[in-house]
Amino acid sequence: MCNNHKNLMARVLSVPSAKAPFEKTTIERRELEPNDILIDIKYTGICHSDIHNAFGEWGGGIFPMVPGHEIAGIVAAVGTEVTKFAVGDRVGVGCFVDSCGECEYCLKGEEQFCTKGVINTYNSIDFDGNPTYGGYSQKIVVKEGFVVRIPDALDLDVAAPLLCAGITTYSPLKNWNVGPGTRVAIVGMGGLGHVAIQFAHAMGAEVTVLSRSINKESEAFSIGADHYFATSDPVTFTELTGRFDLILNTVSANLDVNAYLSLLRVDGTLVNVGAPAEPDQYHVFSLIMGRRSIAGSLVGGIRETQEMLDFAAENGIVPKIEVIGADDVDEAYQRVLRSDVRYRFVIDIATL
Ligand code: NAP
Ligand code: ZN
């Protein structure tokens, strides 16, 4: 049990108001409850959701904000009743840190759909009434039930992006039963998209990448894509009509939904994980004419996040990352917005 107050002070990168530059400041994490774990954070990935949140694009942002929900680190202390983890363990924290634990979805291990409202790792009000602060931070205190184990085969820097980009793409691929014989298209080859390609390939699917340009083609093939098409070329859409069982859309902006629906086979599904702030538009005939579906998917539960990490370790799935220092985060956000990242920025927390 950690009773030393100084242990709970953490340097963080904080955004004072929407779109403001990051500031280095210090916060105090809560004293450890019996089921809590104190984690020394080593690496935190930069998810495009961090940018949507820090820029206030989704509305209702809580400022000052410390983003970060792709957290990899080492257990530094454990509460008196912790049984799953010990000091020194390699652990991860993803998009949420608490839920009611009693509703039907929590009981099913799908805490992200908690009917009382899941507590996000940052930009949420915790059950104790305090705002949550995320992983752009030296330390974090999290209930053991919301911490996962990082397999030894995964280095901590490349494990970090799996805590959001990994589970957000693994979960829908599993839910829609992707396997040998499934024709899957991944739209957008960014942080989420480039791990989606690897998971779909490892699950045995025939994987097509739909990216705006041909620039990422050779890298797509090197991580498991079977086919690659540039969506800037209109011929792509005529050539691929009626081709896919599942399209996983990871794009952060609105797309021409009708054009993508036309690429689905009968009974095919377009699953959106990309989360643009503005509503999409589509014509209902695009669904009717092929008994097609539009769906969405939100991260994944804790049990499935552990399963995803173990699957990644067993199948050699490794995010491609660019490690940056704490002073480079504002610039990194601009580069993500320009799609100038191959394929995930990860902050080396030692530089804080
Ligand atoms: P990212 O690294 O920026 O990747 C997005 C990719 O989309 C880009 O690399 C680019 O790929 C493509 N793209 C960007 N702008 C585009 C445009 N205007 N038109 C067409 N394609 C465009 O972002 P990310 O971190 O992967 O996140 C993607 C989205 O998923 C974000 O909206 C994020 O908030 C959301 N998200 C959702 C969940 C969830 O649970 N549902 C979880 C995490 C993130 P190409 O260069 O290959 O075209
Ligand atoms: Zn994320």
- CA distance between the termini of the chain: 25
- Cβ contact 108:303 at 8 Å: no
Residue-wise pLDDT for 129-177, tens only, equals 999 999 999 999 999 999 999 999 999 999 999 999 999 999 999 999 9
Mutate to test the pocket of ligand 1, among 167, 217, 250 (most ligand atoms within 8 A of CB): 250
Output the CA–CA distances (angstroms, integers) from residue 307 to 240, 279, 313, in the order listed.
33, 33, 10
Q: Is 131 helix (H, G, I), strand (E, B) or coil?
A: strand
Residue-wise pLDDT for 101-121, tens only, equals 999 999 999 999 999 999 999
- List residues, by chain if needed, whose CB lies under 5 Å from ion ligand 2: 47, 49, 164
49 lines ligand 1 (CB under 6 A): yes
Q: What is the pLDDT of residue 267?
A: 98
What mean pLDDT, rounded, does the chain reach? 97
- Cβ contact 197:223 at 8 Å: yes
Q: Would you state the structure tokens that stand for residue 150, as one six-digit string?
A: 């990082």
DSSP class of 163 = G
**Which protein residue's CA is at the shortest distance from atom 25 of ligand 1?**
48
- Cβ contact 155:90 at 8 Å: no
**Which protein residue's CA is at the shortest distance from atom 8 of ligand 1?**
190
Atom of ligand 1 nearest to the CA of 48: 25
Residue 88 reports pLDDT greater than 90:
yes
- Ligand approaching nearest to the C-alpha of 67: 2
pTM for this predicted structure: 0.97
**Which protein residue's CA is at the shortest distance from atom 34 of ligand 1?**
49
Angle at 52 between CA 96 and CA 318, to 5 degrees: 60
Mutate to test the pocket of ligand 1, among 44, 46, 48 (most ligand atoms within 8 A of CB): 48
Q: Would you state the structure tokens that stand for residue 344, as one six-digit string?
A: 């995930």
- Ligand approaching nearest to the C-alpha of 93: 2
Task: List the one residue out of 44, 53, 63 whose CA is nearest residue 138.
Answer: 44
Between the CA of 260 and the centroid of ligand 2 the distance, in Å, is 24
Residue-wise pLDDT for 188-235, tens only, equals 999 999 999 999 999 999 999 999 999 999 999 999 999 999 999 999
